[in-house]
Homo-oligomer: A and B are copies of this chain.
Amino acid sequence: MPASKTARERARAELTREIKDEARRQLAEVGPHGLSLRAVARELGMVSSALYRYFPSRDHLLTELIIDAYNEIGEAAERADDPSAEPRDRWLRIWHGTRDWAKRNPHEYSLIYGSPVPGYQAPQDTITPASRVAQALVRVMEAADLAPAMPGPPLSGELAEQARRVRAALGTSLAEADLVRLTTAWTHLFGAISFELFGQYAGTADPADAYFAYTARQLGDLVGLP
């Protein structure tokens, strides 16, 4: 197989991208539940059956969009990071980079962190890209001289076991207690972004810039960043 793609391969790749772009555009209008292969085809001047050469079903198209979204938000977090900076600074950069991507792409964000689409079952392929933001946070914690487990409660057996499984999956050497603290930070990062984007801060922390900056620091303290 030659390294350079044939004309047909290039055409196929291009059309695949066009289909995904159009599907993304529609996501914004009708939501994941309303995403219709036919509508995508119509907009592209194709016939719906032609799309099935590129995506075997609507759910496969959705899965691709989900994986793309996880990768994009993960890349945004990685790009915001600066491995040569101080841990505390890196932490804040990742938090803000993640939030900025979410605010620029609210519908893609809803797709991955909003309510599950009724009738859609996410395949295993989404798990790895879904962990990229968390991995960026882990790298910062690894590089930092973490404060010893704060005055927090001790870990139950089940929790310690889960932490060990996460450690194996992420290939890190962080202590169990640190991985549980990471889970809290990770949960909070997306909890705050979701509350902001989904309108829960209306009347309280809206606009959320100041609160987000505050809580990013707060969670940095919680995980023990110096």
Chain A residues proximal to chain B, CB less than 8 Å: 29-31, 33-34, 110, 113-118, 122, 127, 130, 150-153, 155-156, 158-159, 162, 165-166, 169, 180, 183-184, 187-188, 190-192, 194-195, 198-200, 202-207, 209-211, 213-215, 217-218, 221-222
Contacts and interface: CB of A to CB of B under 8 A. Distances in A.
A153 B191 CA distance: 20
A204 B205 CA distance: 30
Copies of this chain in the oligomer: 2
Contacts of A127: 202-203
Contacts of A166: 204
Given A184-B188, A190-B191, A116 B198 contact: yes
A211 B159 contact: yes
Given A162-B204, A184-B188, 19 more contacts: A30-B118, A31-B117, A33-B34, A113-B198, A116-B199, A127-B202, A150-B221, A151-B221, A152-B217, A153-B221, A156-B213, A159-B214, A162-B205, A169-B203, A180-B214, A184-B215, A184-B218, A191-B192, A191-B195
A159 to B, nearest CB: 4
A222 to B, nearest CB: 7
Nearest to A117: B31
20 contacts: A29-B118, A30-B118, A116-B199, A130-B200, A152-B218, A152-B221, A153-B217, A156-B213, A158-B207, A158-B209, A165-B203, A166-B204, A169-B204, A184-B188, A184-B215, A188-B188, A190-B191, A190-B200, A191-B195, A218-B222
Contact of A156 (B194, B199, B200, B214): B214
Contact of A187 (B153, B188, B210): B188
A129 to B, nearest CB: 13
Contacts of A151: 221
A180 B211 contact: yes
